[in-house]
Amino acid sequence: MYKNLMSSFDDRKKSFEKKFANDQELQFKIDSRRNKYLGEWAGKLLGKKDDQIASYIKEIIVADFEESGSDDVLKKIKKDLDNANLKVEISEIQNKISEFSDLAKKDFQ
């Protein structure tokens, strides 16, 4: 009986670990897709062309690895827009992050 109980706990543990790994992978995909949308949006505001936008999207994705959450992406986009003398409020960027997060989640449903 004890062996069956331990086996059951091991099975549950493995199941939870697998679910956690799957959830983490899905969140990574959602964040990457959100960053793609953000890069396209901000790149167009910055007047970038198609090949430049593709490069800028990569910059946004790399920036997202600097710290946990989306603050690093927010800071990069805000800095880039400010450097181009484009007056975009942080709240507008935050709204785009939220909007594109929702859109990315729908992409994976």
At residue 15 the predicted structure's pLDDT band, cuts being 50, 70 and 90, is confident
Question: Using one digit for the tens of pLDDT, what is the confidence trace for 36-80?
Answer: 999 999 999 999 999 999 999 999 999 998 888 889 999 999 999
Average confidence score pLDDT of the chain: 90
Q: What length does the chain have?
A: 109
User: What is this structure's pTM?
Assistant: 0.83
pLDDT at 70: 86
Start-to-end Cα distance in the chain = 41
Reduced DSSP (H G I as helix, E B as strand, rest coil) percent helix, strand, coil of the chain, to 5: 80, 0, 20
Q: Could you give the CA distance from residue 64 to residue 2 in angstroms, rounded to a whole number?
A: 47
Q: What CATH number labels 2-107? A: 1.10.790.20
Domain ranges across the chain: 2-107
pLDDT at 11: 73
At residue 13 the predicted structure's pLDDT band, cuts being 50, 70 and 90, is confident
